[in-house]
Structure 1
Amino acid sequence: MKPPVIADVARVAGVSVPTVSRVLNGTVPVSAERRERVMAAVKQLGFRPNGAARSLASQAGSMIAVFAGNTTRYGYAATIQGIEEAARQAGYMVVISVVETADGPTVERAIDHALGQPLAGAIILEFDPPGVAALAQMPSWLPAVAAASGGSSDEAISHAYMDDRYAATQATRYLLDLGHQTVHHVAIPSVGVESPRMVGWREALRDAGIEPPPVIHAGWDPLAGYDAGVRLARHEAATAVLAGNDELAIGVMKGLVDSGRSIPGDVSVVGFDDHPLSQLWMPPLTTVRQDFVGLGHQVFGLLVGRMEAGEPRPSVRMVPDLIVRRSTGRPAPR
């Protein structure tokens, strides 16, 4: 669990420590054969010639890295806010590394750039494919934990997560209890498997003896929701919608209204996240409230425990709340 040091590289390469230093510094000529051996050992061990490993070994690190696929979306930004608040109180600085795609070289560059700092640990926002890929490539010697929108079967990594599956089940049951015959789902992008929100929605319908309608897959932004709303407006039987997040829900409502459907007279809409603008929309949006700032506090606490104990701590489950506003109601009589 300790980071590789220059002596480890020398041992694997079968050369002296000064020879490794010469290869890495490039200040003194070294034979091609020895250079190849040194670089092969560097790659094999995952050695990075910077101060991060030495700082970790001496427990002198006072900086943590946050790896995220995005920093502008509400859930990402609020979680980072919570991490930064908790870290500041504990005397740590936070650096943020944006992992733009799940492509291997892109992820590796983001990690290498962050490891150029004297890191004590890392937090990965496992909200999307880039976050999943970054978590998979974290070096084993670096204490790391993850924030997620669902649990994880990987017991080697501690997670603080929102139980989106349970929350989506409750939101769907709420719409069914109002008298809607079914609930349509406009989904956010998943991380390779069905999102917990989609799973919870489908389970609630099947538990009620209802075959789920086809999922409408969308992007992250309101325009994708608008297109979904226009599509749903063509189906008179569509009277209830669960959107993957509030931005999509706002777009869905706009698309429905522009297509001649009223909210909630013709269609009830539920969002996810409780975006600050959701209560200011017309009508105010019924949504699943998620405490992302609290999630940031919890995941930082897991990282501190991981750094102090040297082993994963039990994951933390957080349960979102359904906030009922005026975008939902009983279906109109046929």
Structure 2
Amino acid sequence: MADVARRAGVSSQTVSRVSNGHPGVVESTRSQVLAAMQELGYRPNSAARALKSGQFRTLGIILFTLSTTGNVRTLEAIATSAAAEGYATTLLPVAVPTEGEVRGAFTRLGELAVDAIIVIMEVHLLDAAAVSLPPGVGVVVADSDAGDRYSVVDTDQKGGASDAVRHLLGLGHGTVWHVAGPEESYAAQRRADAWRSELQRAGRDVPPMLRGDWSAESGYRAGLRLAQEPGCTAVFVANDQMALGVLRALHDHGRAVPDEVSVVGFDDIPDAGSFIPPLTTVHQDFAEVGRRCVESALRQIGDAQGERGTTLVPTRIVVRESTAPPPTD
């Protein structure tokens, strides 16, 4: 810093103010200092900054899998939002969702010095792992049920699933079948509960629920069973990847979509409009979920006990060509 100050003809304090983005520096002086930094290859020492300010300007992210579209898009949104706020992100994937793995991930993030942690996994794993954090390190949980123990940012799972069922019933279908996500998934459970409640509220029969694992392959297996149900004219699938498998299975068995069977997904992945037929689905605003997660994490820095409760990000149904009224014959 002293070398930069000499090269720019300013004080070390001015160099410090420029490197920290302080607004109270004349623009011509700022340009001189930045030019001197570039000439000398100067980079501010983040460790020294952290010692002085007590903040590392880094958010830790723990998540179970990168194989699902929802997790990847949420992670991308968090990283983008954090960067816009001047924060770096440190990612620790948990290969196997066990108590020891989750506890180890929190320990490693504590050692790597982060200001707050965003968790993208089922909250029961946090409870089971009995995690301990350094004082002042807050936790935000994305798409899970943490009650008032942590700050939560979640998509409106119930509202989205209810909209999907109401859309199909509104087209005239007598009932709606459901392909749910894995049993241990909070999001899958919320969507399944809403599907069942909406049918019961409408006084309709509730068909047996089929279950997949979020993959197109599991959707295909469920679709093979649905194709053999002559009374099945409408299906709500808990995510778009499984819906893709359902569409293929129905096609393979000669069940036309939407002329014979209507299909609705959940997520609105970028390729949903390119399915055959283009998929009606529930849109999740992953960018907004990521932004809200970062906002909550930043509010907790220095006051980890001050942020609790759940923030719900609204969904909306996107109607495409995979849904239509039921066959009349």
TM-score normalised per structure 1: 0.78
Q: Does 1:119 align with 2:119?
A: no
Question: 2-side partners of 1:57 and 1:216: how far apart?
Answer: 56
Question: 2-side partners of 1:187 and 1:56: how far apart?
Answer: 49
Contact 1:124 / 1:134 at 8 angstroms: preserved in 2?
no
* Matched residue type, 1:167: G
Question: 2-side partners of 1:92 and 1:153: how far apart?
Answer: 25
* Matched residue type, 1:189: P
Q: Does 1:154 align with 2:154?
A: no
Q: Does 1:183 align with 2:167?
A: no
- Which one of the candidate residues 236, 240, 246 is aligned to 1:246? 240
Q: Does 1:81 align with 2:81?
A: no
Shift >3 Å, 4+ stretches: 55-58, 134-138
Partner of 1:299: 293
Q: What is the root-mean-square deviation of aligned Cα atoms in Å?
A: 2.1
What are the Cα deviations for residues 244-263 of structure 1, in whole angstroms up to 9, with x where unaligned? Answer: 10000010010011011000
Question: 1-side partners of 2:79 and 2:182: how far apart?
Answer: 27
Q: CA deviation at 1:229?
A: 0.8
Pairing of 1:99-118 with structure 2 (within 5 A): 99-118=94-113
Q: CA deviation at 1:109?
A: 2.3
Question: 2-side partners of 1:234 and 1:274: how far apart?
Answer: 27
Q: CA deviation at 1:134?
A: 3.7
Partner of 1:133: 125
- Which one of the candidate residues 257, 261, 270 is aligned to 2:264? 270
- Where 2:59 maps in the other structure, the secondary structure is strand
- Where 1:65 maps in the other structure, the secondary structure is strand
- Where 2:115 maps in the other structure, the secondary structure is strand
Contact 2:218 / 2:245 at 8 angstroms: preserved in 1?
yes
Question: 2-side partners of 1:91 and 1:170: how far apart?
Answer: 37
* Matched residue type, 1:261: R
Partner of 2:40: none
Partner of 1:195: 189
Partner of 2:19: none
Question: 1-side partners of 2:321 and 2:167: how far apart?
Answer: 14
- Where 1:195 maps in the other structure, the secondary structure is helix
Alignment: residue pair count:
276
Q: CA deviation at 1:58?
A: 5.9
What are the Cα deviations for residues 89-138 of structure 1, in whole angstroms up to 9, with x where unaligned? Answer: 11111011111233122222222222220111100113x4xx54146644
- Where 2:154 maps in the other structure, the secondary structure is strand
Contact 1:168 / 1:200 at 8 angstroms: preserved in 2?
yes
Partner of 2:321: 326
* Matched residue type, 1:145: V
TM-score normalised per structure 2: 0.79
- Where 1:266 maps in the other structure, the secondary structure is coil
Question: 2-side partners of 1:56 and 1:184: how far apart?
Answer: 57
Q: CA deviation at 1:83?
A: 0.8
User: 5+ residue gaps in structure 1?
Assistant: 1-51
Question: 1-side partners of 2:312 and 2:185: how far apart?
Answer: 22
Pairing of 1:21-40 with structure 2 (within 5 A): none
Partner of 2:56: 61
Q: CA deviation at 1:60?
A: 2.5
What are the Cα deviations for residues 187-231 of structure 1, in whole angstroms up to 9, with x where unaligned? Answer: 111336661100110011000112311110111210110111111
Partner of 2:26: none
- Where 1:202 maps in the other structure, the secondary structure is helix
312-321 or 256-265: bigger deviation: 312-321
Question: 2-side partners of 1:192 and 1:243: how far apart?
Answer: 14
Q: CA deviation at 1:313?
A: 4.5
Q: Does 1:261 align with 2:255?
A: yes
